[in-house]
Amino acid sequence: MSALICGSFAYDTIMVFHDHFKNHILPEQVHILNVAFLVPDLRREYDGCAGNIAYNLNLLGGEGKPMGTVGTDFTPYADWMDKCGISANTSG
């Protein structure tokens, strides 16, 4: 099955915290909670409605043809789509 999917393409930047918050928050002092956590790593995930739906349709054996407006930072996203077997016709 083939489907045209109109929507967004987006990056999610995930902060990776290598510990548990419970180790840094004291229950008896939660009424004066003021925290800052060092987040040494960031992870970039590919997201957006058009990208997500096309990816999942591909996993189900269909062919999603995503369409949306993209910016100058789209090249890594297009490369990811190619690796996943999703059409990334970037004509413009």
Examine residue 91 and state whether it is found in any structural domain, yes or no.
no
Reported as a pLDDT band with limits 50, 70 and 90, residue 1 is confident
Closest to 52 measured CA to CA, from 8, 21, 20: 8
Q: What are the φ and ψ backbone dihedral angles of 21, each rounded to 5 degrees?
A: -60, -35
pTM of the model: 0.74
Reported as a pLDDT band with limits 50, 70 and 90, residue 91 is low
Looking at the DSSP assignment, which residues form a beta bridge with residue 43? 14
Amino acid at 41: D
The count of C-alpha atoms lying within 13 angstroms of the C-alpha of 44, restricted to the half-sphere facing its C-beta, is 7
pLDDT at 37: 81
Could you give the number of structural domains in the chain?
A: 1
Examine residue 22 and state whether it is found in any structural domain, yes or no.
yes
Looking at the DSSP assignment, which residues form a beta bridge with residue 15? 42
pLDDT, mean over the chain: 89
Closest to 49 measured CA to CA, from 80, 6, 4: 6
Domain residues for the domain of 70 are 2-83
Examine residue 58 and state whether it is found in any structural domain, yes or no.
yes
Tens digit of pLDDT for each residue in 60-89? 999 999 999 999 999 999 999 999 999 877
Examine residue 9 and state whether it is found in any structural domain, yes or no.
yes
